A and B are shown apart, each in its own frame.
Chain A
Amino acid sequence: MPIRLKAKYAFPLVSMLIPLCSAVLTAQENGLCFECHNDPGLTSGTGDSLYVDSERYAASVHGRMELECIDCHQDLAGFEDWPHPRRLERVDCGVCHDEPMSEWETGVHGLPARQRNDLDAAGCEDCHGSHYILPADDPASRVYPSNLPHTCLSCHGDTRLEGKHEGMGQAEKAVSYLNSAHGQALEKRGLIVSATCSSCHGSHKISPLTEFDLQIPKICGNCHGPIYHDYLQGVHGSEYLQGNADVPICTDCHGEHNILGPDNPESRVNPRQVGAVCSRCHEDKSLSSKYGLPLGRLDSYLESYHGVALELGDLRVANCASCHGFHDIRPSSDPESSIYPDNLAGTCGNCHPNAGENFAVGKIHVQDERKDNLGAWLVKKAYVLFISGLIGGFVAFIIVDLIAHRRRSRRARKEEDPGEEES
């Protein structure tokens, strides 16, 4: 393994070296390489292009620092018998960029390389390019925030690569980032402060999902600070802090790559879909028995006017979040909860102005009507009995009437024409 310089020393060191010893020599030596490699038609024996555009190289971050070809292609150092006949060694970027390199080696991209010399996962040049590398803050760089998704998606968005490597994930999911709130902010509004791949997954050291999952609320909180703070106050967040893996974290409600704002009808936290998101856990039998969560919440909601109206497309009516809150959901026993008995009138009052104390009196998620609202149960039964009796009576009367009518008309016909029946 070649000797590695610490990255932070490498930069000043190299820049000091250049003016000192090789001002003339570099130009000459690079010129020597470009004598052949600046030819667009230059190919290897197997037909791969060996072309290196000298001007584009000069504009790259390394070219601007006037690095020589052999600074990277170190196996050519001291070589004299040009042209070099053999294929060059793989460039070791770690010679200068030590820290990113060691980060990469512990991430999902670098691990296979280190463990079993599997170089199929992304290496330096796959993301940064090779001869024409630009600084990350150059809008033309492949790792500039607004270009990064496309760079990552060149592998992760490719359906052909989907099952090829462990942990690649589904291409469709990764591509859905482009239409998410984050992707749209980046693409449409040109907002580089929006979250791109590296904002959540990191850049050089990309952790495997098992490690990553636990970090999600904190990672989201990097940008959505106050939301993270709210979340930790609520029942979900405080359990999360205690390491409970059952509670929902950000992605459980908002989705992963395809996160959309709540106003978007496609969003999982849009009023239309909130019920489905909450009930994934709250209607789950095993979770219900584990934590004593009452079941039947969604059904009783869908029975109510709110539920019916929402189902039929009125988005103004109350959904789960309207009453229970969202990031800082608290149990009804918490005096700060929006559904704490004393706060209910105020919560209802958000939509029904001037709602009084009476407005909240009575069970809301009525599950067993006989127990929760005996009056309604009795009325319902009485109506069912009455309606079935009455309609039964109607039908019986009508049937008798029809039969009698038929009999009468037949008799009348017989009287008119007595011969008909006999023949």
Chain B
Amino acid sequence: MSEARTPLEAFRLVEHEGRLYHLRFSTVQRVQHIILFVCFFLLIATGMPLLFSETWLVRKMFWFEGSFTIRGIIHRAAAVGLFCISVYHVFYCLFSTRGHQDLRQMILSKKDLVDPLLILLYNLGRRPEPPRYGRFNFIEKFEYYAVVWGSGVMLATGAALWFPVQATMLFPRWVLDIIRVIHGFEAILAFLAIIIWHMYNVHLNPEVFPMSKVWLNGRMDLEFFSHHHRLEFDRLVDNLPAGLLERVRSQLNDPELGKRTE
């Protein structure tokens, strides 16, 4: 559409109220995250009670007749939602430009094994500089693969529990008992990982507290971007045309920016 938009978009930049931002997540990605978030929340809310059926809170949750049946329906509906968004995500990663680009950035490398050590050493004061990250740091990659693995396991085991008769045509029922254990513990794992790890990284971490808004508007402040995703930022600076580079320099108050590499 408007001529001015295209170059900004090519560099994953976005203008908002006169300032430039890094567009970290596109609208489609944000919507995917929201759907994932809703499904995950519903699944946890309707699944966890089964693991802690003795507790007072769970008893109060199912106070009216038929509530348990509704729980089952919501759980299955959310599972179908998770399944759909998973399938969509696979297609998105394989066939859309942006999805494909991001998937390539998501591939694990040796750096991702070293980085945790480096950041730890930095945190312990043994190194002067934190490691420089690409578009996704090891924490984000870990979370991503945890979600991929978790969704896969939960969908597969959940399907077996949903259709026990069909499942037992493939294997004896004691396997189903194991599957039930897996479904339960994997859920606890996912729940704890989200509550502790993800919540720390996107909410409680002092650098983003109280909440990183990038999941809502997709925008990342250029300064933050330059600190936390330095490699990606450098790549951006290398490729920027002169006019935009100047804007970035003035915005970051760093007239030297990009000159070292020239």
Q: Does A11 contact B (CB under 8 A)?
A: no
Return the contact of A361 from the options B173, B186, B192, B206 (Cβ within 8 A). Answer: B173
Nearest A residue (CB) for B54: A311
Which residues of chain B (160-216) have a CB below 8 Å from chain A?
164-165, 168-169, 171-178, 180-182, 185-186, 188-189, 192-193, 196-197, 200, 205-207
The answer on a CB contact under 8 Å between A354 and B165 is yes
Residue interface mask A398-423, B partner, CB < 8 A = 1: 10111111010100000000000000
Q: B122 touching A404 by the CB < 8 A rule?
A: yes
For the complex formed, measure the closest distance between the CB of B249 and the CB atoms of chain A, giving whole angstroms. Answer: 24
B-chain residues with CB within 8 Å of residue A358 when the two chains form the complex: 168-169, 171-173
Q: Please tell me if the beta carbons of A379 and B193 are within 8 angstroms of each other in the complex.
A: no
A387 touches B185 (CB 8 A): yes
Contacts of A356 in B (CB 8 A): 165, 168-169
Minimum CB distance partner of B205 in chain A: A401
A400 touches B173 (CB 8 A): no
Contact, CB under 8 Å: B189 / A309:
no
Chain B residues within an 8 Å CB radius of A384: 185
Interface size on B, residues (CB 8 A): 49
Q: Are B173 and A395 in contact (CB under 8 A)?
A: no
Q: Is A32 an interface residue (CB 8 A)?
A: no
Tell whether A313 pairs with B62 under 8 Å between CB atoms, given A362-B172, A379-B182. Answer: yes
Q: Are A362 and B62 in contact (CB under 8 A)?
A: no
The smallest C-beta distance from B84 to any residue of chain A, in angstroms, reads 25
- Give the residue of B122, B169, B174, B197 whose beta carbon is less than 8 angstroms from that of A394: B197
Q: CB of B94 within 8 A of chain A?
A: no
Separation of A360 and B62 alpha carbons in the complex (Å): 30
Which of these binds chain A: B15-23, B26-34, B63-71?
Answer: B63-71
> Are B174 and A309 in contact (CB-based, < 8 A)?
no
User: Which residue from chain B places its CB closest to the CB of A402 in the assembled complex?
Assistant: B206
Residues of B within 8 A of A383 (CB): 181-182, 185-186, 188-189
For chain A, the bracket of interface size reads: 35 or more
Q: How far is the CA of A360 from the CA of B169 in the complex (A)?
A: 11
Q: A314-B69, A379-B182 known; A404 and B196 CB under 8 Å?
A: no
Q: How far is the CB of B261 from chain A (nearest CB, A)?
A: 27
B96 contacts chain A at the CB level, 8 A cutoff? no
Which chain B residue lies CB-closest to A384? B185
Given A305-B50, A352-B165, A405-B206, residue A312 in contact with residue B58 (CB < 8 A): yes
B113 at the interface (CB under 8 A from A): no
Asked whether, in the complex, the Cβ of B180 is within 8 Å of the Cβ of A391, the reply is no
Asked if B69 and A375 make an inter-chain contact with CB atoms under 8 angstroms apart, the answer reads no
> How near does chain A come to B112, taking the closest CB pair, in angstroms?
15
* Interface members, chain A 302-342 (any B CB < 8 Å): 305, 308-309, 311-314, 316
B164 touches A362 (CB 8 A): no
Within the complex, what minimum Cβ distance (angstroms) separates B218 from chain A? 25
A379 to B165, CA, bound (A): 23
Of B58, B176, B177, which is in contact with the most chain A CB atoms at under 10 Å from its CB?
B177
User: Is B125 interfacial (CB-CB < 8 Å)?
Assistant: yes
Any chain B CB within 8 A of the CB of A9?
no
Docked-complex contact A308 and B189, CB < 8 angstroms: no
User: Does B120 make an interface contact (CB < 8 A)?
Assistant: yes
Interface residues in B117-158 by Cβ distance below 8 A to A read 119-120, 122-125
Cβ-based interface call for B49 (8 A): yes
For A312, what are the chain B residues with a Cβ–Cβ distance below 8 Å?
Answer: 49-50, 53, 58-59, 61-62, 67-68, 71
When the two chains form their complex, are residues A379 and B181 in contact, meaning their CB atoms are under 8 A apart?
yes
Distance A240 CA – B59 CA, assembled complex (angstroms): 39
Asked if A160 is an interface residue, CB under 8 A from chain B, the answer is no
- State whether A390 and B189 are in contact (beta carbons under 8 Å apart), knowing that A362-B174, A362-B177, A366-B177 are contacts in the complex: yes
For residue A355, CB closer than 8 A to chain B, the reply is yes
Q: How far is the CB of A354 from chain B (nearest CB, A)?
A: 5
Query: Can you report 28 A-B residue pairs in the complex whose CB atoms are below 8 A from each other?
Result: A305-B180, A308-B50, A312-B50, A312-B58, A358-B169, A359-B164, A360-B173, A361-B168, A361-B173, A361-B174, A362-B174, A362-B175, A363-B174, A375-B175, A376-B174, A379-B185, A380-B185, A383-B181, A383-B186, A383-B188, A383-B189, A387-B185, A401-B119, A401-B205, A404-B125, A405-B206, A407-B125, A409-B206
Known: A379-B185, A394-B197. 11 other contacts (CB 8 A): A312-B59, A360-B173, A380-B181, A384-B185, A387-B185, A395-B196, A397-B120, A402-B206, A405-B206, A407-B125, A409-B206
